[in-house]
Structure 1
């Protein structure tokens, strides 16, 4: 998309859980209701694992409401975890490219990355609660490509350093609400619409919810906790929708703070001003949000970086090996490994930034700018010292 944008919580849920809920997620279950086309992506070179086909949102939503049972909910949740997973690499690339991590822009993106990891944890716990099992590594997307499930048709998610075009065409495009407070309604289905249908199915089916296999963790300021009641389900899905898109009357998420929802936070970066209510409505007319000095990571091309020099090739493999370890370990955590295995995944995840930054500081021999991480899941579990 290239168009220019214009009450107390239920006990287990709090505002954010940065890495505790880093449950990166999942491929389609055996009982998938309807399998959609595979994500458009270049062939997986260098041993990368290609993303599987995920249930199409359009096909899922075409199932009559009175025919949506537990299997439909599981299939929709598999799409949901793929959607949440797909946001993390592009947001990380934007964050790591910012040189001053104390800047306002870095702070905004850091918060959003934490929220997205929390959303992944919520959705994985929901899937386990209804008898599913996340298959995390199998859902790892290949970039550039569309969002899983056909949500936000026309949006191509690619990896790049932070630029205003990247904020507009990737970050804001992913988070675009059903009806923005600062522009006309979107023409294509949104992530929020999909989650509304998922929540409606939970209300209708009222499936039995089991805590067995769900993960609990406390890191920084928030909890990831089991989802065991219908109220927990309501709260969980509403957190995801409101933190991403805001509400129909406010750009702020309503859970314990007044941070702008992701779409509007990215809008502040793009427009260079904080969002404020005026007599004419909401507008980006507040305090300046200076665009930061960034490492000029060039967009990753389809198929990855061609013929990189030896040091770059080494860094790319090191990054992908660590990323694969994170995904493998999260698979193990959600397969019964528990919080200690999740801790191991979190520890491994912290090792991604160093090789990413080194790549972003290495001049690219083919295009203006520098190299950057490709976020490719390797077929075999690597051994990372």
Structure 2
């Protein structure tokens, strides 16, 4: 089952036997394999987000084209996570984001072919990172590329295999219904708050499952029309603009310009080397053991507690309300949203302007950066304790200007987490 997946060990041949006759397999094995495949898709999508966020926060000029395009991708990746989670819920699974399903960096995409896919780290933004890592993550599959299992060459080929498995299951004559949602889980169409592409949809049959997958693939990698060569530097991506149509439906809008895929956005930034924005001089793939500056260490510990609470809450967001006793608030809007949109960005930027070493110079670096380490058992009270330690360290800073900046940032963070802390008891009682 998805809950038993260990992201540090191969799943084995997740998709083996999906090509075989389901009648010969019996019981629930093929359905469980599809649940594992959908869980893998969730992990693949989420694994891209911390590296994208690290690069995003490292860009000094938030009005720059690089920042704005990367931010749009991050928002859309959250949509991909949401839609993949809806698919898993629809076929009887429960989305996991915590424990051994949380990514640990640096790494490859979960169960990707290491010879064909990039090694992903937490690095400052640069043209090389956009080209060699980010664009490589989102590289389109060539025309007629085969569906692939856990040694996939591109994300699109992984989704193609998942789509094929769903279609084959429908054609089988034996086995439990595929689209039979667990009463303990729920789908979400209200948590994607981006103004960018994509529209979260409820999955309830093959058609809606495939439509959701199609949105993910075409928005990320783009698609190459049959008979057309892939042109990486074309003005637009290779798929029609998606949006609300006049008849109330959602999908490709004929006659509109092509929307840029994530791959195309990354290539656009990477090729514009002359106009690439300045970045904070942060270290790549930071480790707590490397920090000798107490302020940096306390800030990174505070960030990781916030990140851990956010992942717990994101996982709880897909748990059915009937299994959350009492009047517990929705974990997404009570915790995930304020942490991801306000608390974590402020802490990350504070870290990126703080030297790793006690005798360091923030203008020169190396500066600290988030480690994105998931820790079990974190709650709002743990965050409050860690936040207090960060304040105690920051107030000792000898540079008065920097001390005032850090204290102002931590006060701002405290304002955003006040409600989270007050709701801690009710949220902790929820049966995630």
Q: Same fold (TM over 0.5)?
A: yes
Task: Give the whole-Å Cα distance in 1 for the aligned partners of 2:204 and 2:18.
Answer: 26
- Over alpha carbons, which structure has the higher Rg? 2
State the match for 1:142 in structure 2. 104
Aligned pair partner of 1:63 in 17, 21, 44:
17
Task: Give the whole-Å Cα distance in 2 for the aligned partners of 1:87 and 1:199.
Answer: 21
State the match for 1:357 in structure 2. 349
Contact 2:90-2:203 within 8 A present in 1 as well = yes
Higher helix share: 2
Once the two structures are TM-superposed, the CA of residue 209 in structure 1 deviates from its matched residue by: 4.5
State the match for 1:281 in structure 2. none
State the match for 1:327 in structure 2. 311
Once the two structures are TM-superposed, the CA of residue 92 in structure 1 deviates from its matched residue by: 0.5
Aligned pair partner of 2:281 in 287, 296, 300:
296
Q: Sort the Cα spacing of 1:151 and 1:81 in 2 relative to 1 into closer, same or farther, 3 A.
A: farther
Task: Give the whole-Å Cα distance in 1 for the aligned partners of 2:113 and 2:17.
Answer: 16
State the match for 2:200 in structure 1. 224
> Which residues of structure 1 form unaligned runs of 5+?
1-26, 40-52, 181-186, 274-288
Once the two structures are TM-superposed, the CA of residue 305 in structure 1 deviates from its matched residue by: 4.7
> Which residues of structure 2 form unaligned runs of 5+?
23-29, 144-150, 171-177, 231-236, 244-256, 385-432
Aligned pair partner of 1:347 in 321, 329, 338:
338
Contact 2:2-2:93 within 8 A present in 1 as well = no
State the match for 2:166 in structure 1. 202
Once the two structures are TM-superposed, the CA of residue 340 in structure 1 deviates from its matched residue by: 2.3
Q: Give the TM-score normalised by structure 2.
A: 0.67
Once the two structures are TM-superposed, the CA of residue 164 in structure 1 deviates from its matched residue by: 1.8
Task: Give the whole-Å Cα distance in 1 for the aligned partners of 2:164 and 2:154.
Answer: 16
Higher strand share: 1
Task: Describe how 1:251-330 pairs up with structure 2 within 5 A.
Answer: 251-254=237-240, 255-256=242-243, 258-272=258-272, 290-301=275-286, 303-330=287-314
Q: Give the TM-score normalised by structure 1.
A: 0.75
Q: Sort the Cα spacing of 1:305 and 1:235 in 2 relative to 1 into closer, same or farther, 3 A.
A: farther
Task: Give the whole-Å Cα distance in 1 for the aligned partners of 2:270 and 2:263.
Answer: 10
Once the two structures are TM-superposed, the CA of residue 349 in structure 1 deviates from its matched residue by: 1.4
Q: Sort the Cα spacing of 1:231 and 1:330 in 2 relative to 1 into closer, same or farther, 3 A.
A: same
Task: Give the whole-Å Cα distance in 1 for the aligned partners of 2:368 and 2:194.
Answer: 32
Once the two structures are TM-superposed, the CA of residue 307 in structure 1 deviates from its matched residue by: 3.6
Task: Describe how 1:1-385 pairs up with structure 2 within 5 A.
Answer: 28-30=2-4, 39=8, 53=9, 55=11, 59-66=13-20, 69-138=30-99, 139-153=101-115, 155-179=118-142, 189-206=153-170, 207-210=178-181, 213-217=186-190, 219-221=193-195, 223-249=199-225, 251-254=237-240, 255-256=242-243, 258-272=258-272, 290-301=275-286, 303-337=287-321, 340-344=330-334, 345-350=336-341, 351-365=343-357, 368-383=365-380, 384-385=383-384
Greater RCO (Cα-Cα under 8 Å, separation 6 or more):
1
Question: Cα RMSD (Å) of the superposition?
Answer: 2.7
Once the two structures are TM-superposed, the CA of residue 210 in structure 1 deviates from its matched residue by: 3.5
Task: Give the whole-Å Cα distance in 1 for the aligned partners of 2:43 and 2:60.
Answer: 29
Q: Sort the Cα spacing of 1:293 and 1:331 in 2 relative to 1 into closer, same or farther, 3 A.
A: same
Query: What SS class does the counterpart of residue 317 from structure 2 fall into?
Result: helix
Once the two structures are TM-superposed, the CA of residue 381 in structure 1 deviates from its matched residue by: 1.6
Higher mean C-alpha deviation, range 187-196 or range 78-87: 187-196
Contact 1:93-1:161 within 8 A present in 2 as well = yes
Contact 2:303-2:348 within 8 A present in 1 as well = yes
Higher mean C-alpha deviation, range 303-312 or range 161-170: 303-312
Contact 1:158-1:299 within 8 A present in 2 as well = yes
Contact 1:159-1:300 within 8 A present in 2 as well = yes
Q: Sort the Cα spacing of 1:122 and 1:54 in 2 relative to 1 into closer, same or farther, 3 A.
A: farther
Task: Give the whole-Å Cα distance in 2 for the aligned partners of 1:90 and 1:220.
Answer: 19
**Count of equivalent residues:** 317
Contact 1:91-1:109 within 8 A present in 2 as well = yes
